[in-house]
């Protein structure tokens, strides 16, 4: 325990502020959980809030994603909203290689030798390791049962929460996986799904004009060379941030992302579209015709990081692809306005794998702090989360 810090959560654009207090903690975790070439460990940061915790209560465990853990703690007020009723300890675990949890300090990103331990497999094992430590520290009074843990995560963090439950089913009793595009890998969904949802969201929110305006920007897709090395990646990195509390900010983010295409060359004019109008025609969205090319992607990775992804099948082999029949106790929630929902689980899979489609929801809106102005669909989603978590605890205590 180092310090007590106070974060002010200003939910943009809502004027709603709450102060949450965290202990900053660290745990030494193995750099490499799956091999034994060395015994190096590093310090993984996590935040703990015990305001609502009572001995014997569960642990709410946020599986941190690609950024400083404080950012996710600030934007996941839902955990604080529901912790009192469960007497839960709240923990936000930082993802390795982000924030302060960099295994090799400033060298961490300099070469594959250092960066190579950044993988979802290793990150999940960090979380399992930390959860085991927490279960010892926050053991129930009777010393018989383990403290049950619920995983929470949004976006990539939601993928991790779901995978944690799938790959280490005994580490957590259940997972709330918000806006988790776990089916975005090879052949799982058409690549254009993302852009289809962008289109319909823009149509709905901004009208046909807006759509047409944006449509023009796609013309540049015909000329891939003037774009940055990884246009899709850069596009996604802008649109994948966890800041879209509402439709307006979603729109802003997508707009900003699109600048990669519209402003990068500085030469694209609206009427450039005329040049390729015959080709575009009704087919419209140029990006829908952008073929996913693993080799190109692999080359891009190698140029930027000195590392290649090994095989396009790997994520599916690791995480089982679209067959969730052996998983249980996961809620997949997706905002219908969120383009990432195109790769999410949108239908109940079994009685234990629940899907919520939030009609007025953006990227993991349900994990944010509640607000009287929230759409009904978001409120309903949160209620389902509470119901499922209650069910998981009941099952757990019945069995143990």
Is the Cβ of residue 61 or residue 235 nearer to a copy of itself in the bound state? 61
- Binding residue for a copy of itself (CB under 8 A) from 100, 320, 379, 386? 320
Q: Which of 76, 101, 108, 155 is catalytic?
A: 155
Tell me the per-residue interface mask from 28 to 67 with a copy of itself, x by CB under 8 A, - otherwise.
--x-xxxxxxxx----------------------------
The reply to whether 399 sits near a copy of itself by the rule CB under 8 A is yes
Is 43 a known active-site residue? no
Nearer to a copy of itself, 21 or 299 (CB): 299
Count, residues near a copy of itself per rule CB under 8 A: 41
- Mask of contacts with a copy of itself, 270-309, x by CB under 8 A? -------------------------------------xx-
Residue placing its CB nearer to a copy of itself in the complex, 2 or 136: 136
**Minimum distance, C-beta of residue 155 to a copy of itself, in the bound complex (Å):** 22
Work out whether 331 is an interface residue with a copy of itself (CB under 8 A).
no
Q: Does 118 bind a copy of itself (CB under 8 A)?
A: yes
338 is catalytic: yes
Using CB under 8 A, which of 12, 18, 107, 112 touches a copy of itself?
A: 112
Q: Is 113 among the residues that bind a copy of itself (CB under 8 A)?
A: yes
Does 170 bind a copy of itself (CB under 8 A)? Our answer is: yes
Return the closest-CA partner of residue 138 out of 30, 46, 54: 54
Query: HEC string of the chain?
Result: CCCEEEEEEECCCCCCEEEEEEEEEEEEEECCCCCCCCCCEEEEEEEEECCCCCCCCCEEEEECCCCCHHHHHHCCHHHHHHHHHHCCEEEEECCCCCCCCCCCHHHCCCCHHHHCCCCHHHHHHHHHHHHHHHHHHCCCCCCCCCCCEEEEEECHHHHHHHHHHHHCCCCCCEEEEECCCCCCCCCCCCCCHHHHHHHHHHHHHHHHHHHHHHHHHHHHHHCCCCCCCCHHHHHHHHHCCCCCCCHHHHHHHHHHHHHHHHCCCCCCCHHHHHHHHHHHHHHCCHHHHCCCCHHHHHHHHHHHHCCCCCCCCHHHHHHCCCCCCCCCCEEEEEECCCHHHHHCCCCCCCCCEEEEEECCCCCCHHHCCCCCCCCHHHHHHHHHHHHHHHHHHHHHHHHC
User: Which residue in 160, 198, 273, 327 binds a copy of itself (CB under 8 A)?
Assistant: 327
* Smallest separation, CB 351 to a copy of itself (Å): 14
Known catalytic residue: 377?
A: no
Q: Looking at 76, 333, 363, 365, which residue is catalytic? A: 363
Q: Please enumerate in sequence order all residues whose Cβ is within 8 A of that of 195, keeping only pairs 6 or more positions apart, or say none.
A: 285, 287, 288, 339
Out of 328, 333, 341, 388, which residue is the one contacting a copy of itself (CB under 8 A)?
A: 328
* Residue 312 Cβ vs a copy of itself, minimum distance, rounded to whole Å: 11
Sites of contact with a copy of itself (CB under 8 A): 30, 32-39, 112-113, 115-119, 121-122, 128-129, 132, 167-171, 307-308, 310-311, 313, 317-318, 320-321, 323, 325-328, 399
Catalytic annotation, residues: 155, 338, 363
């Amino acid at each position: 325990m180092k310090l007590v810090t106070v974060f002010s959560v200003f939910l943009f654009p809502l004027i709603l502020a709450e102060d949450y207090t965290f202990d900053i903690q660290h745990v030494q975790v193995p750099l490499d959980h799956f091999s034994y070439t060395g015994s190096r460990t590093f310090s993984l940061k996590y935040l703990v809030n015990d305001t609502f915790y009572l001995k014997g209560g569960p642990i709410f465990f946020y599986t941190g994603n690609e950024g400083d853990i404080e950012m996710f703690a600030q934007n996941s007020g839902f955990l604080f909203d529901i912790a009192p009723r469960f007497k839960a300890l709240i923990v936000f675990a930082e993802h390795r290689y982000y924030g302060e949890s960099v295994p090799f300090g400033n060298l961490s990103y300099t070469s594959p030798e250092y960066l190579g331990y950044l993988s979802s497999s290793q990150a999940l094992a960090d979380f399992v390791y930390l959860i085991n430590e927490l279960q010892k520290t926050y053991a129930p009074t009777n010393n018989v049962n383990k403290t049950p843990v619920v995983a929470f995560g949004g976006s990539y963090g939601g993928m991790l929460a779901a995978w944690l439950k799938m790959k280490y089913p005994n580490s957590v009793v259940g997972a709330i996986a918000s806006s988790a595009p776990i089916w975005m890998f090879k052949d799982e969904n058409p690549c254009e799904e993302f852009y289809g949802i962008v289109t319909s969201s823009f149509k709905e929110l901004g009208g046909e004009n807006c759509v047409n305006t944006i449509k023009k920007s796609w013309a540049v897709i015909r000329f891939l060379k003037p774009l940055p090395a990884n246009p899709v990646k850069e596009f996604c990195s802008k649109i994948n941030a966890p800041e879209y509390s509402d439709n307006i900010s979603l729109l802003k983010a997508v707009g900003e992302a699109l600048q990669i295409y519209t402003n990068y060359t500085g030469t694209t004019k609206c009427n450039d579209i005329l040049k390729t109008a015959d080709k575009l025609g009704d087919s419209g969205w140029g990006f829908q015709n952008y073929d996913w090319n693993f080799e190109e992607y692999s080359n891009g990775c190698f140029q930027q990081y000195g590392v290649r992804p090994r095989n396009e099948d790997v994520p599916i082999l690791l995480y089982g692809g679209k067959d969730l029949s052996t998983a249980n106790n996961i809620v997949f929630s997706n905002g219908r306005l969120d383009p990432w929902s195109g790769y999410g689980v949108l239908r109940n899979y079994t009685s234990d794998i629940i899907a919520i489609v939030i009609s007025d929801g953006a990227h993991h809106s349900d994990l944010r702090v509640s607000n009287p102005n929230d759409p009904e669909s978001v409120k309903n989603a949160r209620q389902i989360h509470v119901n499922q978590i209650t069910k998981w605890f009941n099952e757990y205590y019945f069995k143990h």
